[in-house]
Structure 1
Amino acid sequence: TALKSHVVEKKKEGKETVCSLMLDEMYIHKQTEFDGNQTHGYVDIGAGEIENVVATQALVIMVVAIESWK
């Protein structure tokens, strides 16, 4: 992954990568969509089962740099 590559590269330079894991909930449009293979838009908690309920919220997970990664 990009984060892992960055950490390995900075370790070679003797530097440490400092970041924060952020979670945020956001509301999304209540809508389903078929892409030709699969229907998207239903509640999916990642356990392999999709509920027959249209999702209205999403959990966003992101890694944010504490220091510049440049």
Structure 2
Amino acid sequence: MLPNLPEEPVRLTDVLNNNYHYPTSKDMEREFILNTLRQANENPAQIAKLLEISVRNLYRKLEAYEVQSSTLRFSIRE
């Protein structure tokens, strides 16, 4: 899956003047997790399976990326 491309072409002057934000690996991971969240209908078990991570690790990533996990179908029991 490709990251979202800018609406307009990037100008060389913007790049040279540091007015363009290059997506980092964290940006791309966050976007990938959000897209997977939508694809899996907000079911944490499905999302974790698609991402090949544990449900607990999924919640850690959601917390790190400041994504509200309260919309998910269930929460982790401590």
Per residue, is there more strand in 1 or in 2? 1
TM-score (norm 2): 0.24
Q: Which has the larger radius of gyration?
A: 1
Judging by fraction of residues, say which structure has more helix: 2
Length-normalised TM-score, structure 1: 0.26
